[in-house]
Amino acid sequence: MPIELLMPALSPTMTEGNLAKWHKKEGDTVKAGEVIAEIETDKATMEFEAVDEGTLGKILVAEGTQGVKVNQPIALLLEEGEDAKALTAPKAAKPAPAAPPATAAPVVAAAPAAPAAKPAPVAAAAAPAPENHGARVFASPLARRLAEQAKIDLSRVTGSGPHGRIVKADVEAAVKGGGAMRGAPATARGPSAPSAAPLRTKAQVAALAGNIPYTETPITGMRRTITARLSESEVIPHYFITVDCEIDALLKARADINEALGVKLSVNDFVLKATALALRKVPAVNASWSEDAILHWQDVHVAVAVALPEGLITPIIKNTDKKSLPTISAEMRELGQRAKDGKLKLDEFQGGTISVSNLGMFGTKQFTAVINPPQSCIVAIGAGEKRPVVHGDTLSVATVMTCTGTFDHRVVDGALGAQFMAAFKKLIEAPAALLV
């Protein structure tokens, strides 16, 4: 039976995508790990890699198709020994796996009041176990069939394929008892579930506003993702610590380096390096909360908020603490441009361990930023401006930049947050330390 290639979930929040381009045509040989298509998500265009081998028998979704739902079949892959005649098999074979959900529905359904609502056939065939833990399971069609035959609950198997997808080898390892099995899934974790904001229709919102005239902007996939992440952040116990940094020495160092090396370092490049080195000095801040343990990250990856017309995205400078200022500057320019072009890869805007949001270029003096889960800190950077300062008993004028750290109190206690901001301030005010 041919393998169905499904529209992948290339990010945790993706529900649908656009099939931008096919890299293979019908009849081409496909190897595991090969890029077979490009998928446009709510935030970027990413490559879709094959996890099974075979021949691309039939393309079900044409290039340029928009709004393809996650887990919708987009192509059929012929396995070794199969020919084109097998392409009609899935239509005849579909009713068999679709039958069990009718009897299993009372156990699986989340809402007893709606027993008639059927889950998608693909999802039903992929869940031979009688339990449904509410988590979407991403697995190759072959892995699903093997799991069904072996009575393996895929929700308890850890995938080793692209983006955590479960592949044949994972199921085989689970059958032998050596597979990476997740712990028993938690059913409901009340404290970690974000509180739901009231959902109102356009008519309800207009009525609340007094039915005044309005125009509307469609809600994009990116905007929905931002909304979901902000709602998730809402339950984090935030607190804020603000420091004033004198940046005259930094501005002089920046001007000297730009003139001597012929580069164009920005103040933000210094901020990113200072943030990374401050994490190294106070490593307990480089951590994330989970329900099982606090995870302390070994690498420092700084995510940088970049504003786009349709929303916000956070490209990441990997191993920021180990890179020179010119390298950070060059990477930031490249990532920023590709972010605007929608060409970032998934690992280039997900996976940071701390974030920086800089609104100083807009003249903002000071602000507080919302934590980007699962990170535990974000540093908000205001504009540098001339202010009166006191040094000893002398009143003078200095260029001062106000910076505010937002911390997750579950991970970073107040004294620890203060140590981090003190380390950050010291590095910003002694820019020579950022050149080492």
What architecture does CATH give domain 222-434? 2-Layer Sandwich (3.30)
Rounded to 5 degrees, what angle do the CA atoms 13, 349, 345 make? 90
Helices (H) and strands (E) counted in the chain, each on its own, are 12, 18
Q: How far is CA 6 from CA 25, 48, 69, 140, 180, in A?
A: 16, 10, 9, 8, 24
pLDDT by residue (tens digit) across 13-54?
678 888 989 999 888 888 888 888 988 876 677 888 888 888
Tokens standing for 98?
């679709």
Q: Are 20 and 39 in contact (CB under 8 A)?
A: yes
pLDDT by residue (tens digit) across 157-172?
877 765 567 877 788 7
pLDDT by residue (tens digit) across 301-323?
999 998 887 778 889 999 999 99
Residue 125 CA to residue 310 CA, distance in Å, equals 37
Q: Compare 87 and 300 and report the one with higher pLDDT.
A: 300
Q: Are 233 and 355 in contact (CB under 8 A)?
A: no
Fold of 3-175: OB fold (Dihydrolipoamide Acetyltransferase, E2P) (2.40.50)
Q: What is the pLDDT of residue 157?
A: 82
For residues 114-123, give the mean pLDDT: 37
Look at residues 93, 97, 88 and name the one whose alpha carbon lies nearest to residue 118.
Answer: 97
Bridge partners, residue 58, by sequence: 76
Catalytic residues: 409
Tokens standing for 360?
């100083």
Q: What is the pLDDT of residue 124?
A: 33
Q: Name residue, tokens 């820019």.
A: 431
Look at residues 401, 305, 408, 298 and name the one whose alpha carbon lies nearest to residue 353.
Answer: 298
CA 243 to chain centre: 29
Residue 257 CA to residue 194 CA, distance in Å, equals 46
- Which stretches of 176-235 are DSSP H helices? 202-208, 221-233
Domain limits, the chain: 3-175, 222-434
